[in-house]
Amino acid sequence: MNDSVIIIGGGMGGLFTGALLARNGYRVTVLEKNATIGGGLQTFLRAGQRFETGMHMLGGFRPGASIFRICHYLGILDQLQLRATDNDCMDSLYYLRENERYAIPCGPERFVAYFSERFPTEAPQIRQYVEALYRLSNEVGMFYLREEDRPIFAHDEAFLQPADEFIAHYIKDPRLQDILAYMNPMYGGVAHHTPAYIHALVNVLYINGEDRFVDGSSQLADALADVIRQHQGQVLTKSPVRTLACENRTILYVETENGTRYTADHYISAIHPCTLLRYLDASALPRAYRQRLEEIPNSYSAFTVYLTLKPNRVPYFNHTGYCQSAHGLSWQLGLYDDQWPRGVMYMTPPVRQQGPFSRKMILTSPMPFEAVRSWENTRTGHRGPDYEAWKQQQADRILDRMEQIYPHFRDHIEALYTSSPLTIRDYYGVKEGSMYGFRKDAQNIALSQVPIVTKIRNLWLTGQNINLHGICGVPLTAINTAEALMGSHELIRQINAKYEADFPEGPTYPFYPSSTTP
């Protein structure tokens, strides 16, 4: 097609969108402000260990699933080193006060059987609940790469029901209600606000099979950048945008902070929409549009502790660990007060030739931006001693939780590093360090619906603030954005045709139950 495209932001959304367009003949230039591409796919080295900054658990990479198909279409599957979590324990869940442990299996039938055995009086309702999860996911045609357009309000009544009420509709035991909400840190769940369809999509994604990157998530960013370069595109780092010149609702050029100007036929913003507003003159967009974007609440952020571990001390465990202080707190994890952290997610990321022990661990706990509000106007490396002391206090509070699970846990630590909501805000360029972008609200779902098209003729949006977030939602949104240029369903047809040609006998994605198969 030979049209040129400039993409602002080299995170996962920008790279997937750029790779899809580049493969279809567009001349793509990606401008990334940081020295490293990838956004949430970025990794960093400390004491010889590579740590992921955000993308720890993967769903959708099993044969037939949507992300598998997209990566197959782009020709990058063989560049990705993945390791499946254990079938009988993809996630472990530990309640500290009650001393209860759960080993949560993958696969819908295993999932139903496990919880039916632990809660036999709820067994029929557990099956009904899981079937309802899959029904809701099946209503999102894009989740399964189907060619269909369905407005957000044209769904089953349960689709926009608050997720906590959706669970309670099927499950009466309050303990089990809390347990089934354990994936809240994966989507920033808030009681009475998070829609059931978000809860369903995330749970179905991981119940169908959870994987991890071996040696870090930056391999996906590198593979996507290679696709862009192989098709005569470019991915430029250390290129922060200064301004987007706009006239008559048309972008004329992008100028970076070093004064370089870039022009193209099309412009795509892969950054937080509120960050984008800073680069546009106030007259470029209607005041009501700008005000609406600023009013959308953001999902909460996180505080993370990165540990290097002494040799041969801490076993490698091939699952993600979740712990909560007590039952009844799943929907309160994002609060910050004297009880913080109410929950901690912990994992030992795999490396090549992974042995029985791990040399690193990542511990993370949800945290609202309010916790760091007093340092809001500081910059990285210049936040002052009070901030450093505060970070150490938060790390100690998280380690206290780990000591309750593994006594004397601190004895196994070699070195410790931390990141806060300010770190996420500054490195990712997201408003208030939001982990999952704009928060979807069942009470006002129209507010958080941000379309791909903008009021500027040649400017489109992509990334986690549009439609869905995460390892599944961002690539699917990239398809939506690319199809805004290429034509409706054009990419979906190509992706499915290539998959079906190369895998004529399947395998197909495991729908459940069979009655929901499209």
Q: Which helix (H) or strand (E) holds 471?
A: helix 470-486
Rounded Cα gap, residues 1 and 135, in angstroms: 39
pLDDT digits (tens, 9 = 90+) for 129-151: 999 999 999 999 899 999 887 66
pLDDT digits (tens, 9 = 90+) for 330-389: 999 999 999 999 999 999 999 999 999 999 999 999 999 999 999 999 988 899 999 999
Tell me the average pLDDT across 22-40: 95
Q: What is the 3-state secondary structure (H, E, C) of 409-437?
A: HHHHEEEEEEECHHHHHHHHCCHHHCCCC
Q: Are 55 and 43 in contact (CB under 8 A)?
A: no
Q: Are 306 and 46 in contact (CB under 8 A)?
A: yes
Tell me the average pLDDT across 271-294: 94
- Buried b / exposed e over 384-414, threshold 16 CB at 10 Å, is eeebeebbeebbebbbebbebeeeebeebbe
Asked whether residue 83 carries a pLDDT value surpassing 60, the answer given is yes
Rounded Cα gap, residues 270 and 30, in angstroms: 10
Q: Are strands 343-347 and 320-324 parallel, antiparallel or unpaired?
A: antiparallel
Cβ-based neighbours of 505, under 8 Å, separated by 6 or more = none
Domain ranges of the chain: 4-41+217-296+440-486
- For 163, half-sphere exposure in the C-beta direction (CA atoms, 13 angstrom radius) is 28
Structure tokens at 321: 């660990």
Q: Which residues pair with 307 in a beta bridge?
A: 361, 416
Structure tokens at 335: 């609060």
Q: Are 233 and 30 in contact (CB under 8 A)?
A: yes
Mean pLDDT of all residues belonging to the chain: 93
Q: Which long-range contacts (CB under 8 A, 24 or more apart) does 285-290 make?
A: 285/454, 285/455, 285/456, 286/455, 289/454, 289/455
Task: Return the pLDDT at 155.
Answer: 75
State the DSSP code for 119: S
Asked whether residue 516 carries a pLDDT value surpassing 60, the answer given is no
Q: Which residues pair with 212 in a beta bridge?
A: 83
Rounded Cα gap, residues 12 and 217, in angstroms: 11
Per-residue pLDDT band for 112 (boundaries 50, 70, 90) equals: very high
Per-residue pLDDT band for 228 (boundaries 50, 70, 90) equals: very high
Asked whether residue 152 carries a pLDDT value surpassing 90, the answer given is no
* Domain range 4-41+217-296+440-486, CATH architecture: 3-Layer(bba) Sandwich (3.50)
Higher pLDDT, 509 or 366: 366
Asked whether residue 274 carries a pLDDT value surpassing 50, the answer given is yes
Task: Return the pLDDT at 469.
Answer: 85
Tell me the average pLDDT across 232-241: 97
Nearest Cα residue to 421 out of 462, 370, 474, 455: 370
- Buried b / exposed e over 433-472, threshold 16 CB at 10 Å, is bbbbbbbbbbeeeeebebebebebebbbbbbbbbbbbbbb
Tell me the average pLDDT across 425-433: 90
Number of CB atoms found within 10 A of residue 50's CB: 16
Task: Return the pLDDT at 517.
Answer: 39
Cα→Cα distances 391→81, 338, 387, 416, Å = 33, 15, 6, 11
> Which bin fits 422, alpha (ψ -120 to 50), beta or left (φ > 0)?
alpha
Task: Return the pLDDT at 47.
Answer: 86
DSSP codes joined into one string, 450-467: --SB-SSTTEEE-STTSS
Q: What are phi and psi of 377, to 5 degrees?
A: -100, 20
Task: Return the pLDDT at 153.
Answer: 54
- Buried b / exposed e over 96-130, threshold 16 CB at 10 Å, is eeeeeebebbbbbeebbebbbebbeebeebbbebb
pLDDT digits (tens, 9 = 90+) for 174-212: 999 999 999 998 899 999 999 999 999 999 999 999 999
Cα→Cα distances 518→148, 151, 200, 477, 499, Å = 12, 18, 17, 21, 17
Sort 419 into a burial class: Cβ within 10 Å, 0-12 / 13-18 / 19+: buried
Tell me the average pLDDT across 237-244: 97
Task: Return the pLDDT at 470.
Answer: 87
Rounded Cα gap, residues 306 and 390, in angstroms: 16
